[in-house]
């Protein structure tokens, strides 16, 4: 479940959303995927203490952006919580290589380095 959906669901159930932290030992497909809550789902809680903390992943799985234009790659990477080292003036150029590679884990907000066709 993504962060926005988790917040809405918890608030609709009468909970207050407390802290939102990142766990660098957790990897997910998107930086906004909830990987844990405290208290955990299904745990009975005192209605007087209805605050839930949310944990998001500290790392994401790098998508494959080779063969995409820089503009397409920028949107794809942004969607999972990553950045790209190419400039906007290169948006129409195609990507021929990337580092880290597709499928590797990368820290949220880190930069994927790309090589562009000539």
CATH of the domain at 19: 3.30.10.20
Q: Which domain covers residue 38, as residue numbers?
A: 3-60
Place of tokens 């948006």: 91
Residue 57 has a pLDDT of: 97
Regions in the chain scoring below 50 on pLDDT: none
Same domain for 10 and 56, yes or no, is yes
- Number of structural domains (the chain) is 2
What's the pTM value of the predicted model, to 2 decimals?
0.86
**Close Cβ partners of 67 (under 8 Å, ≥ 6 residues apart):** 94, 95
Residue 50 has a pLDDT of: 86
Same domain for 49 and 94, yes or no, is no
d(CA 15, CA 11): 5
d(CA 27, CA 8): 23
């Amino acid at each position: 479940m993504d962060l926005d959906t988790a917040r809405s669901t918890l608030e609709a159930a009468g909970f207050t959303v407390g802290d939102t932290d990142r766990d660098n030992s957790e990897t997910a497909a998107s930086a906004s995927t909830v990987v844990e809550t405290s208290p955990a789902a299904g745990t009975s809680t005192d209605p007087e203490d209805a605050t839930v903390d949310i944990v998001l992943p500290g790392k994401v799985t790098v998508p494959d952006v080779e063969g995409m234009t820089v503009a397409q790659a920028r949107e794809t990477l942004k969607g999972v919580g990553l950045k790209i080292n190419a400039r906007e003036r290169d948006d129409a150029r195609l990507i021929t290589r990337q580092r880290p590679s597709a499928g590797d884990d990368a820290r949220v907000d880190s930069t994927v380095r790309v090589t562009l066709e000539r």
